[in-house]
């Protein structure tokens, strides 16, 4: 097995077509096919199902791809560390739930490593995809929360994917509402007070159960619920419909509407917000700096 074979494997999977991958890699189609076949033979599996329409990754192939991406990423980090290539293309990817502090740290990382060209990815996405992204090597880090309601299920899934969870901070329950909401002047809000208002939640696709929800109130029966896909839409509905969403309580008015305010929720539970990553992996300098800024931003926010 060589790094070149692993690069071939990843490129074929991304293209979904041997011919297109060969053109992208500047190799002949027969050479690429032989390299992939030899890798499959060495690993004792079939990575792709071939047809006249292209290739489809098998279940064994998905597992092999996750290791291939991880090894290629670690090799790149090692080269970057020892060769000190200041002109190497900055690359970093993080997948997260919809947290403004995660975006703030990402912005600072991009500014810190600004260059003539770079490839940074921030994926505010569904909970299950965050775990899959990190497991498959698409993202170095993932950010999500655990609570007494979802911890058993998510912890088992994280462990099954050979990942680890590291806590960043513990948050008490809050809700985001508009500054003109009928409950805006309340010092602390009770769940019963919220039931007549629309509850805004992030849609979770096929995994649309309370275990994968970003909002811990999803375990309760709320009579009015609206699902959305992005943060801007959610906050527009919070303002326009006197809606609310459950949260960690940390919000940045520079990235979100200044009309959104945070109110403590009278509820006996906590959110353990943290990162997921591959165990024993060497983080790139971009991921390392991102974590540094993330902790600094959280420290500053929690002091307020």
Q: Enter the pTM of the model.
A: 0.75
> How many domains, the chain?
3
Residuewise pLDDT in 10s, the chain (304 residues)? 888 899 889 899 889 888 888 888 888 888 888 999 999 999 999 999 988 788 888 988 888 888 888 788 778 777 766 665 555 677 899 999 999 999 999 999 999 987 778 889 999 999 999 999 998 888 999 999 999 989 999 999 999 998 999 999 999 999 999 999 999 999 999 999 999 999 999 999 887 778 899 887 777 778 999 999 888 899 999 999 999 999 998 887 677 778 999 999 998 889 999 999 988 777 888 999 999 999 999 998 887 6
Q: How far apart are CA 189 and CA 195, in angstroms?
A: 11
Are both 186 and 208 inside the same structural domain?
yes
Are both 117 and 183 inside the same structural domain?
no
**CB hemisphere CA count around 168 (13 angstroms):** 29
Are both 181 and 263 inside the same structural domain?
yes
* The pLDDT value given to residue 215: 86
137: left (phi over 0), alpha (psi -120 to 50) or beta: left
Are both 282 and 219 inside the same structural domain?
no
User: Which element (helix H / strand E) includes 276?
Assistant: strand 271-277
Final residue belonging to a domain, choices 27, 53, 79: 79
Spatial CB neighbours of 230, under 8 Å, sequence gap ≥ 6: 98, 124
Are both 176 and 240 inside the same structural domain?
yes
Are both 232 and 198 inside the same structural domain?
yes
Are both 228 and 277 inside the same structural domain?
no
Give the domain CATH number at 131.
Answer: 3.40.190.10
Are both 120 and 263 inside the same structural domain?
no
Are both 145 and 229 inside the same structural domain?
no
Final residue belonging to a domain, choices 42, 58, 79: 79
Are both 156 and 192 inside the same structural domain?
no
Are both 235 and 102 inside the same structural domain?
no
Are both 258 and 289 inside the same structural domain?
no
Identify the domain containing residue 181 by its residue range: 171-268
Q: What is the largest CA-CA distance in the chain?
A: 70
* The pLDDT value given to residue 88: 62
* The pLDDT value given to residue 180: 96
9: left (phi over 0), alpha (psi -120 to 50) or beta: alpha
Give the domain CATH number at 53.
Answer: 1.10.10.10
Cβ-count burial of 117 within 10 angstroms (0-12 exposed, 13-18 middle, 19+ buried)? Answer: exposed
Q: Map tokens 């058993």 to a residue.
A: 152
Final residue belonging to a domain, choices 24, 57, 79: 79
């Amino acid at each position: 097995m060589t790094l070149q074979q692993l690069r071939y494997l990843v490129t074929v999977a991304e293209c979904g077509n041997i011919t297109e991958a060969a053109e992208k890699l500047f190799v002949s189609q027969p050479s690429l096919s032989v390299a992939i076949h030899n890798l499959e033979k060495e690993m004792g599996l079939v990575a792709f199902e071939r047809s006249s329409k292209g290739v489809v990754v098998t279940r064994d192939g998905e597992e092999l791809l996750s290791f291939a991406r991880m090894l290629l990423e670690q090799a790149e980090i090692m080269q970057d560390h020892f060769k000190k290539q200041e002109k190497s293309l900055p690359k970093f990817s993080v997948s997260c739930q919809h947290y403004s502090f995660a975006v703030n740290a990402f912005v600072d990382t991009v500014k810190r490593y600004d260059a003539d060209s770079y490839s940074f990815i921030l994926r505010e996405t569904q909970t299950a995809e965050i775990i899959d992204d990190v497991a498959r090597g698409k993202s170095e880090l993932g950010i999500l929360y655990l609570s007494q309601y979802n911890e058993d299920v998510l912890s088992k899934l994280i462990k099954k994917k050979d990942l680890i969870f590291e806590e960043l901070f513990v948050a008490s329950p809050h809700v985001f509402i508009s500054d003109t909401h009928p409950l805006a002047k309340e010092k602390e809000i009770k769940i019963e007070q919220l039931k007549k208002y629309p509850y805004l939640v992030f849609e979770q696709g096929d995994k649309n159960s309370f275990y994968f929800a970003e909002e811990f109130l999803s375990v309760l029966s709320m009579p009015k619920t609206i699902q959305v896909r992005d943060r801007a839409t959610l906050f527009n509905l919070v303002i326009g419909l006197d809606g609310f969403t459950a949260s960690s309580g940390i919000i940045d008015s520079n990235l979100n509407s200044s009309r959104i305010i945070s109110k403590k929720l009278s509820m006996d539970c906590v959110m353990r917000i943290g990162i997921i990553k591959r165990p024993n992996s060497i983080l790139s300098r971009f991921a390392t700096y991102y974590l540094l800024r993330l902790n600094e931003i959280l420290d500053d926010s929690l002091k307020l």
